[in-house]
Amino acid sequence: MHLTGVTLAVSRSSEEVAWDAIARARGAGVPVSFAVNHRPALGGAPERLREAMARSDVVFLSQEEAEIVGVPEAPEVILTRGSAGATLLAGAAEISVPGLRIDPLVDAAGAGDALAGAYLARRLAGAPPEAALRAGVIAASLSCRARGCARSYPTAAEVAAAGG
């Protein structure tokens, strides 16, 4: 199950549903993935984000978000660094994958979601974390070639052709 910090911040009822979904997933043995997506304008409280990270198996957060909420001790933490790529923290392992050079870089909106989606898809398909991270970083990089979020996402074939 995947959710984001926006879900916790958008409304009280949305937050309640998110906590319930996390509890149900944990109770059923379903892995929980959480993208911090800190949005102060929506009322995204850092303590609620920390609580959600503590209940998650996989956490996605940017370098900037890590400075606000800290880096959790989840089994898999993906720390995104914009065009520099991302770093996977898993136990004692620290694996970094550089971003692809995109020229011209058109729009980075949605790149973090592209990374999370490709990473999770690969992990659920049985790929090891490093291979999933590579695919995620490639998907995020390629998504910066066009404007918009979902419309800019590359296909699985494009990610594979670029080395993911």
Q: What is the DSSP string of 63-86?
A: HHHHHHH-----SEEEEE-GGG-E
Say what the pLDDT of residue 54 is: 96
Say what the pLDDT of residue 116 is: 96
Whether 144 and 112 have beta carbons less than 8 Å apart is answered as: no
Report domain extents, the chain.
Answer: 1-74, 100-164
Say what the pLDDT of residue 43 is: 76
Say what the pLDDT of residue 164 is: 84
> What pTM, to 2 d.p., does this model score?
0.93
Rounded CA-CA distance 141/153 in Å is 9
Say what the pLDDT of residue 148 is: 84
Per-residue b or e along 80-107, where b marks 16 or more CB atoms closer than 10 Å to that residue's CB:
bbeeebbbbbbeeeeeebebbebeeeee
Q: Which residues pair with 58 in a beta bridge?
A: 33, 76
Residue 72 CB-density burial (10 A; 0-12 exposed, 13-18 middle, 19+ buried): buried
User: Looking at the annotation, which residues are catalytic?
Assistant: 113
Q: Could you tell me which of 33, 30, 39, 29 has the C-alpha nearest to residue 8? A: 39
| SS3 assignment for 95-120 | EEECCCCCCCCCCCCCHHHHHHHHHH
Rounded CA-CA distance 157/153 in Å is 12
What is the pairing mode between strands 86-90 and 93-97?
antiparallel
Quickly tell me which residue has 């606000």 as its tokens.
68
Q: How do the pLDDT tens digits run along the chain, 164 residues long?
A: 999 999 999 999 999 999 999 999 999 999 999 999 998 888 778 999 999 999 999 999 999 999 999 999 999 999 999 999 999 999 889 999 999 999 888 998 889 999 999 999 999 999 999 999 999 999 999 998 989 888 889 989 999 999 98
